[in-house]
Amino acid sequence: MASLLLLILTTLLLSGSHGDVSTVKDMTVLEGRSVTVPCHYEPQYARHVKYWCRGAVRSFCSNLARTDTAPPAEGKVSIADDPAQQVFTVTMSDLQEEDSGWYWCGVEVGDFWRTDDAVSVHITVSHGMSVVNSMVAGEEGGSVGVQCLYGSRHSGSSKKWCRSGDWGTCLEVSSNSTLDKGSVLLSDDGVGVFTVTVETLEQRDVGWYWCATGQQQVAVHIAVTPRSSTQRDVRTSLPFMTSLPVDPKESSTSLATNAVHTDNQGQNSLSQVLRSPLMICGVLLLLVIVATVPFKMWYQYQRIRRRRDMGETELTFTPCPGSENDQTKAGVIFFNSSSPQQVHMY
């Protein structure tokens, strides 16, 4: 019975309790870089001391940083507590391969009968290469960017970008320099980031590629999606328009240029219509019609007037009282009128 109790006590001392503190389980970091580990705890530990230690067993781990002790001025490990968010963070900088191992996020409980609450995390420091995103995609005609990360020991080495299965396609750039190969741009900042930009994407660019330096390499896949039909229609129907620039001033200038271009096109089209033979003939015909109508009206008026003046007069004779044989004096009066008139004879 005593042996069983001793075994249980030993287990608690070695393992600690893991219910009230949590963090990530495994982390991989490139040599020469930094890593930040978040350690979460329960609200009751807001005022407790937190620490970060290294070792395979918590009870015998070596403290590297504590919240109740100021860190060294040039130390590579720092710790910060945020009680409001119930998390303390540990940052380790300039990691080397020998820094690989087991670490612990711990909270001091301050109780003799209870061990500290702590949780372990394994950190692996690699001197090879890694990539921010191993699967990238871009639209046909567009571009994609790939960021390849490398360890500090490869800072002075050249970097390569190769198509998988064909090492003859490799493009190489020296440290801290840039290489422009038309549709592919390589850039190495010399401190851990090798950037590849592939422009004017085509379907033939789909496939696997390698970022490489020395004997280290990492795979990247590029996918190309077809250009949307909407964009094709817009570019076909508006050939003189281009994509608007991001800068508002450039955008206003571009819109004004397009508006002037449209006005000039309208003016040119109007000038061509006015100069066409059909339009000239139509204008002349309209002028002839306008000039002829008044003349025809005047001619009709004169014709009617002449007919009225030259019309025959209908005569009606009414004899005056007197002798039938008395015709020594007689007179006839004619009236030029279309209406019948009476004529008296004397």
Q: Count CB neighbours of 50 within 10 A.
A: 27
Element (H, E) at 65: strand 62-66
Tokens of 106: 């711990």
Q: Which helix (H) or strand (E) holds 341?
A: strand 341-344
User: pTM of this prediction?
Assistant: 0.52
Each residue's pLDDT tens digit in the chain (346 positions)? 455 444 444 444 444 444 689 998 888 888 888 999 999 999 999 999 999 999 999 889 999 999 998 877 778 999 999 999 999 999 999 999 999 999 999 999 877 677 889 999 999 998 888 888 999 999 999 999 999 999 888 889 999 999 988 878 899 999 999 999 989 999 999 989 999 999 999 999 999 999 999 888 899 999 999 987 665 554 444 443 434 444 544 444 444 444 444 455 555 555 555 567 777 888 888 888 888 888 778 777 777 777 776 654 444 444 545 544 554 454 545 444 444 444 444 4
- Residues 6+ positions from 316 with CB-CB distance below 8 Å: 340, 341, 342, 343
The residue behind tokens 């287990």 is: 11
Strands 62-66 and 50-54: antiparallel
Which DSSP category does 161 fall into?
A: E
Topology of the domain covering 13-126: Immunoglobulin-like (2.60.40)
Rounded Cα distance between 208 and 337, Å, is: 114
Tokens of 61: 């781990």
SS3 at position 5 = helix
Contacts of 340 (CB under 8 A, 6+ apart): 314, 316
pLDDT at 25: 86
The pLDDT assigned to 165 comes to 84
Please give the CATH number for the structural domain made up of 129-225: 2.60.40.10
Nearest partner of 92 among 10, 31, 148, 163, judged by Cα = 31
Structure-block tokens of residue 339:
């209406």
